[in-house]
Structure 1
Amino acid sequence: MSFKSPADIANSACATATGKCSLRISQMLFLGFLAGAYIGFGGFLYTVVTQDLSQYVGLGLSKLVGGASFTVGLMLVIIAGGELFTGNCLIPIGALAGCVTLKEILKNWVIVYFANLIGSLFLAYLIYRTGLASDAVGSNALKIASGKMSLPFEIAFFSGILCNWLVVLAVWMAMAAEDIISKIFAIFFPIMAFVASGFEHSIANMYFMALGILLKNNEGLVSQAGLSSHSLDALSVGGFLNNIIPVTLGNIIGGVVFVALFYYLAYKDKIKA
């Protein structure tokens, strides 16, 4: 076959876990920063594409096209190289197989998550400074951010589970691919599905919500977005945490349980630690 079988992917995932946990702290920081920015690029493209598309093609197709545009973020992470916290929710398969320790995984997660945050915030600031997030694009960015920051804990949590189930499946499938084009297609469909479905991704949300906070003092954009005072109040550090905590917890469960754990249990007899 020109691609790896699921059992072979399980072995590759263990080898990948070993490699990721062996990275120097400086490597985790640099690659994590890049991954946070790459996901932000996908987020900005999504915002531009969906700013007015629904009035021409309908809401459903607008979400589909927006989801397709967002896939560029994970393509950049996997093909160009980056350390993404949500994707790294696959590496516990290495601990289950005895390739790495839980301590090594937690070290990777904490450093990469912090680096993803910095990269996301930095890109949001750059986008803000370009002035490109103005008019319809800026009002769309405000609506996206306020919607995320107003989500109840339970909805954000379960949306986070569903999101990272698909994101880590995209990483899993990309490991099966033996060439660039195959990797692109392996990434494209699961990521398009999670975005079009409206699920919640912690690293993408860091970018979306940071840009929303930066834009909230633009009265013209606020008026154009039609935000209520309650929605505007949600655009704050408190609103950021209100979303990012449950979404992060959900992302961990979605990736670790439904991909890493389940595939380990399915193929543990074929994994060579």
Structure 2
Amino acid sequence: MDYVKPTELLDTMIEAGGGKAALSVKQMLVRGFLAGAILACATTLAFTATSQTSIGLTGAVIFPVGFVMIVLLGLELVTGSFALIPLAVIERRASLGGMLANYFWVIAGHLLGCAVYAVLYGLTITKMGTDMSHPLVQMLIQISETKTLGYKTMGASGMGLVVIKAILCNWMVTLGVVMAMTSKSTAGKIVAMWLPILTFFAQGFEHAVVNMFVIPAGMMLGADITMGDWWLWNQLPVLVGNFIGGMLFTGVLFYLSHKTKTATIARSSQEGRKTESLQSLQAVEKSL
């Protein structure tokens, strides 16, 4: 059986969060860059499927391929870390400063990766800027304007809406990250993480990293959007909503539902044995 029980899963989540907070700046930037570019590529694949079939669910079924690649390759997706690193902070496996540093540098990597892919993809579908007839050109422009100006025209209600959609989105995305840990086999991980990712994409929720590609790509192709529109009416509120959804609904609530005194005692005992072993090893080294 390759199924990982929830109590074991919680320990894995905490350990993973601590590991992410301990990465070097170079690792966070490079892994964030690759994750952003891969997710952007999966987004255009999903949009292509939707354009060809006129069925939105088709794109949602395909989109998780990017998420699968990111998780299996051990890359950094900040929206997933929104659920994991806070648990490591709670358990004192990571510091608040380490958590914020991870978020900052990984987001910087995402922006770079998404921008590079947006430029390369834009040149591809416009035939080096000479042909704007490709259906994805207008689709990207329309979607990017909907994701910014659509909320802007609603005012305060629009701001509330975008945050709520971001919360719902990352509740599902972080469940994908966690469910990938419920299996020890590659096939099991893929199936487990596919389900919640399909769920979020099919319902049009707001994902910060996807938007780091879609909105700049739309702007490059001619969308009537300013930098202020992008960041004020989408990127910043979506990041806030994604953090709340991942940290609260997946991270903290799962932690509270499966955290037990038995698990804490077992973990403390295990750490104690590790410390004793290290001390014994050091004593042996000194005697030699």
TM range (shorter): 0.7 to 0.9
For 1:267, the equivalent position in structure 2 comes to: 258
1:68 aligns with 2:61: yes
Question: What residue number does 1:111 align with?
Answer: 105
Q: TM-score, normalised by structure 2?
A: 0.83
Looking at both structures, which has the greater relative contact order when contacts are Cα pairs under 8 Å and sequence separation is at least 6? 1
CA apart distance, 1:19: 1.2
1:149 pairs with 2:139: no
Spell out the pairing of 1:157-176 with structure 2 (5 A cutoff).
157-176=163-182
Q: Number of matched residues? A: 250
Equivalent residues in 2 for 1:1-273 (5 A)? Answer: 1-54=1-54, 62-90=55-83, 91-131=85-125, 134-150=133-149, 151=151, 152-216=158-222, 232-233=223-224, 235-241=225-231, 242-269=233-260, 270-271=263-264, 272=267
**3-state secondary structure, aligned to 1:106:** helix
What SS does structure 1 have at the residue aligned with 2:23? coil
C-alpha distance in 1 between matches for 2:134 and 2:30: 33
Paired amino acid for 1:237: M
2:43, 2:110 → 1: CA distance? 14
Structure 1 residue 193 displacement after superposition: 0.5
The farther-off stretch of 118-127 and 249-258 is: 118-127
Among all aligned residue pairs of Structure 1 and Structure 2, give the percentage whose two residues are the same amino acid. 32
CA offsets per residue over residues 14-67 of structure 1, 9 Å max, x none?
11112111111111110010011111011111111111422xxxxxxx222111
Q: Deviations over 1:148-174 (max 9, x none)?
A: 112221111000000000000000000
Q: Deviations over 1:58-80 (max 9, x none)?
A: xxxx2221111111121111012
> 1:191-239 CA deviation, whole Å, 9 max, x = no partner?
11101011000000010011100111xxxxxxxxxxxxxxx53x22122
User: Which one-letter code corresponds to 2:250 in the other structure?
Assistant: V
Structure with bigger gyration radius: 2
Looking at structure 1, the residues matched to 227 and 46 of structure 2 have their Cα atoms a distance apart, in angstroms, of 23
Over the aligned positions, Cα root-mean-square deviation in angstroms equals: 1.5
Structure 2: give runs of 5+ residues left out of the alignment: 127-131, 152-157, 269-288
**Which amino acid in structure 1 is aligned with residue 192 of structure 2?**
A
TM-score of the superposed pair, with normalisation by structure 1: 0.88
Structure 1 residues without counterparts, runs of 5 or longer: 55-61, 217-231
